[in-house]
Amino acid sequence: MTGKTIKVGIVGGTGYTGVELLRLLAQHPHSELRAITSRKEAGMAVAEMFPNLRGHVDLKFSEPAAAGLDKCDVVFFATPNGVAMQEARALVDAGVRIVDLAADFRIRDVAMWEHWYKMKHACPELVAEAVYALPEVNREQIRKARVIANPGCYPTAVQLGFLPLLEAGCVDLDHLIADAKSGVSGAGRKAETHILHAEASDNFKAYGVPGHRHHPEIAQGLARAAGRDVSLVFVPHLTPMIRGIHATLYAQLTKQVDLQALYEKRYAGEAFVDVMPAGSHPETRSVRGANHCRIAVHRPQGGNTVVVLSVIDNLVKGAAGQAVQNMNLMFGLDEDAGLKQVALLP
């Protein structure tokens, strides 16, 4: 497979995850960008909207119907929730593999999905087939998948942080807490009052405390790891930065375990999960622009409370980078192909 070029289409190339996909795929050694769709911007050069791609992407945005997506090997949906489910069936029937960066195929319980996303699902039969694609958990299923549900940003940081504890069966599953903060780009590339510079800058707030639609996605993944349902309190926050997620996770130990050794062993073979030395405090800027999750595990005052610190770039490991990682698995490539970027500092 390594000698073959993957023909790639992107639906919805004008948002933050879309341009991040373009940035990563333009540098990918085995991908060829064939089409980038946008009904509103059809005919505009991609580099006109995103000047960072000048000299790297020479395509124009095209109408979806004229884009020839059915001739691609893989199509990424960097679209709002509810779009991929309308178009996936026809593409899958044409032999195209799908990576959806939105939530259309993430939650196995279709009725629950419809409750949280406030719309009728257009192709529930593909939900049953879709693979929830957290590579550190479902690598083998991802290799064979036709439809990939790319995990959400908060769910990626939270699940990777909690997984070793749940898989080891060493914490109370009825009292898990995820206190997570995200940069403003997580809200998408749109004009809304709460993400205007004058509103979000020099400010910090929680939101979605009564219920957030990433909660059922996280709980689903944690239940799979634990082998039973879990009770999770998830509180997201908006922070005055552009990129990054910092998840502070709390659990109560039910048996003694060497936490540092547990985490180091669980992620020893993972290219994109970095278990930091004992006593570390990972920073969001340490993963900015890179497809890494950095984790530190603490046991304050030697007590029974475990505190896990998990940081990712919400647009990379939380979205586009993980999508490319999944593409690499689907097509038998090295998992880190096109994803060796070093994080940006300062």
Pick the catalytic residue from 72, 153, 170, 293.
153
Q: Give backbone dihedrals phi and psi of 221, rounded to 5 degrees, phi first.
A: -70, -40
List the strands of the sheet with 131-132, edge to edge. 61-62, 31-37, 6-11, 74-77, 97-100, 147-149, 131-132
Distance between CA 11 and CA 104 in Å, rounded?
14
Handedness of CA 198, 205, 209, 216 (dihedral sign): positive
Instruction: Specify the amino acid at residue 255.
Output: K
Q: Is 4 exposed, middle or buried (0-12, 13-18, 19+ CB in 10 A)?
A: exposed
Burial track 274-305 (b if 16+ CB lie within 10 A, e otherwise): bbbeeebebebbbbbbbbbbbbbbbeeeeeee
Q: What CA–CA distance (Å, rounded) separates 150 from 104?
A: 10
**Distance between CA 105 and CA 121 in Å, rounded?**
9
**Cα–chain center distance at 158:** 11
C-beta atoms surrounding 322 within 10 Å: 27
> Are residues 37 and 69 in contact, defined by beta-carbon separation less than 8 angstroms?
yes
List beta partners, residue 311.
246, 294
Q: Is 72 a catalytic residue?
A: no
Cα R_g (the chain), whole angstroms: 20
Q: What residues are annotated to the active site?
A: 153
